[in-house]
Structure 1
């Protein structure tokens, strides 16, 4: 074997020794990790942890050994042996590629290795480091072994507490320790808890686990609930165990074979907290009906939802587009899923609807409604927001927010001519110096006629009688206005002048009603006049404003007819202000139709037929109580304790009534507890009083009856006796 082969064998030994050195240093720590996992997670997890740690150590050792290659050995030889002349790399070179001088130097190096003193190239065992690592690992292992073991979670929750002492005879089983574990439903995210007593307030659907311990041990134990359910307990060593899921509040007692009566009669109360439905609030918009604004392109929406345990991740926004009118209305519906932002119990939902993308147009209604679910399992609860409406009317000034009753447009087109009267009067004032006195008076009087016609139009809606032929009060019909003006001055024949209003017949030459004209419809069908208070078209506030407008129109008309338009302008402006206030109430409500009573049967009048009529001799029959069981119990509770009436109480019927009508009782458990106390102690006066106090709000209120008249004192009685004596003569 030449020197090169011996060096390669030496390199293999160095690799093995280096890997073992690292493994011996790390194996104690792998045992420490396994012991820690064993302490907290069990033997199976500890075995897995130990195998994983050993595998990591093996990989690290192999990686460290692979780093010790030929280059490492060359550098090692050049460092430890000076006779290598920094030429140890020639020992591993191929002979074919060497020059003559390199071959001579290689022969010299091989001869020096063969006859020279051997050099230990293997790294020395790191004894100090290995011992230090082993010592520290042993200390950590001892700490883990001596540290007190934590109780498992189930055992901590089922830890027993001392039970209240109950008087019992020797040999009778007595409850000494107790525990009640509460596991809320998983969707509530509430942690399990342990109650030291056997009473608790728990979420709906919680799982309850009873752990009881008796001394001495009874033959059997059961939990008896007030609704008749009997839950037997099973014995596990020294403990008695039972488990039940609770959906509603309940009372129960513990019945142990051979236990003292005081132990078996004691009641325990479990109150259930129901899961509330989500609460939904609209943040934007601030009203249920929103009118389309000028140039509006989007509709922002914002909602806020809260729940006691948690909300679903997303909500559904239902969008309904109503298009058309009358019988040609079509609906198009779509749904959008919204992701809420915020905590699990309080989320905010926001959406900005693109009106153009939805196809929203003039005359359409856009209705949205948000639905939110909570995380209750298995069936979630849903909350719906109010419906929000965005309306794009054809005429923004003729819409309203009323949703019931019949509606009618308040202001027709000619109601808006008060401004034209003001414009005409203001245009006439600067021409006073240019026009003659007669012509100026004539033009001012013509404007006054327009004011009069407008006043009469308003008067129709307040119950006043119309005068003359209805015309639009504008200067566009000046010839008609002049003709009426001439009629008032006598140019019109007397037979055709305004006559006193006779009944409800109008002149045959009255203008025909125009289709769709509000005034014509009112004259033909409504015809409410003569008394302003009899008009039912307007609400009191609007009627008051119109009355004020009419008063100002009277004054404006007075000055215009007298040729004083400047004095008429203040009154005309006030009338315009009142009209604008009326225009803000864009709809009025018509009175509803009264009840239609059946017609009177005239054939039975004065016939003497008394068939179907009650006779005076018939005796009154006592009315049956709506709930006779409660009435009879109330009367029985009035009896003294120990009497026969008290012993006749049907407790079973009362318990059945309570199970069927628990919604009528404010606190059903208190009622059941009072009933149970009275059944166990029939002679207990306080138990009777407590049950009567709980029963009083449930009794049916007696119907009203006629109070008998007071008989009076002795003087009154003598007076009535004297009257009776007078009647017998």
Structure 2
């Protein structure tokens, strides 16, 4: 009887062991299947495959592990290793009592008694089950994250797919002609994008600029003629491919718009053409600062760090540098082209560039300046450039000069006379206009604008214009961080606010010279504006005026002998204080204002007709004519912005042809017309519901006085 109790106890433990092993294997396989299902969902594959994956993995695991094959001897050995009180004699409980000797029988009786105090589920059985449960929880969290990622991002993780197929899922269904049974549109992006061709079965297009689009339309019956009409102007006749049921055409799209299919005189709906424009590269210079000054003792070198990004790929980038040597009219400029050590053959979308520039390599000496900018070009030959950065080397000889002590302060800036060189270059550019290309002319004009800007910035220093190099510094000298200054508003405002009135007091020029220098900067800015617009002939008058102001300012800094006095003509005392004003004519201002025609009159009438149509859905021939004229204007807008105006144009065509559309489509047409109308300026008017009684009383009094 005691032997039977021991066997039952071991069988109970074995049954728990097998069930726990099967449960742990099931949880582990469920976690794997759950992760696989999330990945399949990201690849747009049905979730049913998740169940099949679980069944296959679970079958393989249990066939390999075979938990049902666990014997009672295996359980006994596990109990001997886990519980020392069994004295490694648990296997005796499985043997018949008649086969044991006296000592074994006594030990068996002791082991059976000990087995009754051992728990039915040993602690080691749940370890693997706990690990499987934790893995399943982690799989649930990871699957939830994968499901929250947008579909297009997930497909990008798996190597990308057909972009047209990705966009079709979020687009409403199209209305096509009933004779068309199948549509296959092949889009070949231009070479600069580096993308492969892809296909779609929709007429609505969202393609890259310059993409080649091929249409293959299959009809369910033979047709005589099939045409694609673009923007209601251009027509492309589709060619039959073998029979009159398969038609094909091809076109390179470079501008947004819309098109429709004409099949034996029947017109389809309007289909939008959206163009993805190629943007020029974006350049961000991380180092150095825009104005860098190398002091005495520092290494004459500068490290240029920049990041360049482009939507399809960067083709090339370089540093355009100009070294300025000399002073005044004797200044000389020499241009250099510095290439980065990076290889742009891979046409990556992002580059982090770094270049160490040694200034002595360009024969730069103390007092010279280096002007540079970075220019980048993408795979579509679009270029962009940064602002001009300035690196100067301190001239110690000028710093230790005694000129300022001996002869007073030199009021003339360093490059006061270089405006003359800009005028000479502008005149030479106009002289060479007929012998150079338009691109070269524009480039040289833009470079002159850059030189004018640099000159204007140099003059601005003498007026105390703001310098952004020290904006982040603590002006309080560390006093602001002390505890006793906490809450000191005056100190905080003094440390972190920008005192714009300091620019008026930060110059050593006299007030008259300062005013004239401000006028000079204004003329330089106007000259730079016209040079940037490639109009050097219009910039010359401003350049000459700036030069005259500079020369006049230079003359004013000299010392002159006393000027001769001014002798005014004598006054007639008999007319003095007589009050006779008959010789003074009163000025008369007369202005004839001709009323111009309202170019938006047709659109305003169309809005009124649509408002009336909401209450009385009837259109007269005159109303239809007005709506057709408004539709022409909407069609012109839809050619450039089909995503905004194409639904309204489609609804308006339905209204003028069938005279029956829904109220929602009427609202869409009216909304498009309102978008095209200019915003009316709000005129001053009295408020009928003034909240303040004092305002009401003031308005009543004012109205009574004006009667």
For the criterion TM > 0.5, the same-fold answer is: no
Higher helix proportion (structure 1 or 2): 2
TM-score, L = length of structure 2: 0.45
Q: TM (normalized to structure 1)? A: 0.43
Structure 1 or 2, whichever has the larger Rg, is 1
